[in-house]
Amino acid sequence: MQEEKVAQEIMVKYPAVVFPKSLLPYPKKKIQKVLEEALRYVDDEAMVENLKSCAVFLENFIDDEEANKRNSELLKNKEWQKAVKKHSPKNTDN
């Protein structure tokens, strides 16, 4: 349930699924390097897949200005607004 709430909040604020890299706690390149390094030492296949998923997700953190532009454009899109409203859990018409 908590994951769904977080996912919904992300989609409301970052509908283009790109994020300002300034949200990262460390520089993106440093995080990438640590993930790559961790892959060298992990034997557990599930953990390997998790680390790879993290590396893929990290690619969604881009230049702040570009991320804000893409998200803003989508937030202003009337068709996107209709789709969000239609699929919103608060919408009882479904």
Q: Which pLDDT value is given to residue 36?
A: 97
**Per-position pLDDT tens, the chain of length 94:** 677 877 778 888 898 999 999 999 999 999 999 999 999 999 999 999 999 999 999 999 999 999 999 999 998 989 888 887 887 766 444 4
- Contacts of residues 16-20 at CB distance under 8 Å and 24 or more positions apart, as own/partner, are 16/67, 16/70, 16/71, 16/73, 16/74, 17/60, 18/60, 18/61, 18/62, 18/66, 18/67, 18/70, 18/71, 19/60, 19/61, 19/62, 19/67, 20/61, 20/62, 20/63, 20/64, 20/67, 20/68
Name the pTM for this structure. Answer: 0.77
